Amino acid sequence: DAEITQSPRHKITETGRQVTLACHQTWNHNNMFWYRQDLGHGLRLIHYSYGVQDTNKGEVSDGYSVSRSNTEDLPLTLESAASSQTSVYFCASSEERDSYEQYFGPGTRLTVT
């Protein structure tokens, strides 16, 4: 069955370190998204991509970067981790630009100490 996976599921890192969170989908979707969810709040968009070599900034992109070298993967990099980036990170994908459903990964809980 097609799916979307994230790794690692839990990560503890120190302030200033570079961290990369992986997202892999086997739906063959063109659209992929990264969101963060802070405790007690909804999701906020970090970066998104509509296809290979396409990346776009979302609402809260400062301190994050993404790259899209193939259809299946959209890794999220924290260039220099800060305590304010402690959060749960969700990756999502969707089929077409105007598709109404997004499929979410299980999330990665990141703690920056």
Residue from 7, 61, 63, 104 in contact with other proteins (CB under 8 A): 104
* Among candidate residues 92, 88, 85, the one with its CA nearest the CA of residue 108: 88
Residue from 1, 53, 98, 113 in contact with other proteins (CB under 8 A): 98
**Residue 50 makes contact with other proteins by CB under 8 A:** yes
**Residue 106 makes contact with other proteins by CB under 8 A:** yes
Site string for other proteins, 57-76 (x = CB under 8 A): -x------------------
What values do phi and psi take at 30, rounded to 5? -80, -35
Residue 27 burial (CB count, 10 A): 17
**Residue 1 makes contact with other proteins by CB under 8 A:** no
* In the complex, least distance from residue 18 CB atom to other proteins, rounded to whole angstroms: 25
Residue pair 60/90 in contact (Cβ under 8 Å)? The answer is no
**Residue 89 makes contact with other proteins by CB under 8 A:** no
List residues near other proteins by CB under 8 A: 31, 33, 35, 40-45, 48, 50, 58, 88, 90, 92, 94, 96-104, 106-107
